[in-house]
Copies of this chain bind each other. A is one copy, B any other.
Amino acid sequence: MTEFSLPPIQTTARDDAVLKALAGFVMREKLEPGERLPTERILAERLKVSRNTVREALTRWEGLGLVERRQGSGTYLKAAVSLDMLHMPLTLAGGNDFTGLMRTLEIRRALEAEAAALCAVRADEDDLAEIERKLDIMEDAFKMRAGMSSDEDWEFHQAIYRASGNPLFEQIIAAMHELFHRFWEHPLGVRDFGHASFPYHRTIFNCIAAHDPEGARAEALKLIATVEDDLKRGAANLKLADRK
C-alpha cells in the first residue's frame, strides 16, 4: 500500500462561506468594534442563503466573542475581524477543582514570567508610571484591609501585560482570570491567602524599572510559587477541593 495524499473534498460549507464573506464585508467597510453589522434578514437576502444559515454562522462568531447579538437592536462587532484570524477555543474541563486551578496557574506562571521579562525590556517611562501607580493602589489596599485584594492585584498584573507590547498575554490571561477570581473569593480556608505574594509585586516592579528582564522573570516565578504554595495548603486543609 503506497502513500496517498488525499484530503477530504469539501462539498458543502455554507456557513463558513458566509463567515468569509462577512469578514470580507467588515474589512471593506472598515467596521470597528462597537459598530452594528447588517441584520440577519439583509445578510440572508444579499448572500442568497437562508436566514437560518446566517444565524448558524453568527452563532459561531458569537461563541468566539467576535460579535454580540442584542435582541430587538442588532448584531454588533465586539472585536476586530480580519480574514486571517486564528481561532483558539480552549476548554478547560473540571475548572472548578484543584487540579484544574493548578493547571491554569502553571500557564499563568509561564506567561507571567515572560511578560515581566518583556516588560523590563520594552516599558517606557509612561508604562512604568502606570505600573507603579497600580502598584501603589494595590499596596494601599493591602495595608487598609490587611490582606491581598483581588481587583487591585489584577489591575497591577494587567498593567504589566499591557506594557509587554504583546496583547496576546493579556488576552490569554484574561480568559483565565475568571477562574482565579473564584478562588480568591473562597480561599479554601486559608485565612491569609495570597499574603505571601505581596512583597514580590514591588520586587517585580523594581526589576522592570531597572530594565532587568531576567530579574523580573525570576521575581515573577517566585510570586507564582507563593500562590501555588497557598493553593496546596488550602487543598491540604480541606481534603476535598471543591465539590461545590
Q: Which of A60, A65, A87, A179 has the most CB of B within 10 A?
A: A87
Which of A36-44, A108-116, A150-158, A185-193 binds B? Answer: A108-116
A6 contacts chain B at the CB level, 8 A cutoff: no
A64 / chain B contacts, CB cutoff of 8 Å: 63, 89, 91
Contacts of A171 in B (CB 8 A): 88, 90
The total of chain A residues at the interface (CB under 8 A) is 51
- Residue A52 is within 8 A (CB to CB) of chain B in the complex: yes
Closest B residue to A173 by beta carbon equals B88
Would you call the interface of chain A mostly helix, strand, loop, or mixed?
helix
B92:A89 contact, CB within 8 angstroms:
no
Give the chain B neighbours of A237 by CB distance below 8 A.
none
Interface, chain A (partner B; CB < 8 A): 12, 52, 55-56, 59-60, 62-66, 71, 79-82, 84-96, 100, 103-104, 106-107, 109-111, 113-115, 118, 166-169, 171-172, 175-176, 178-179
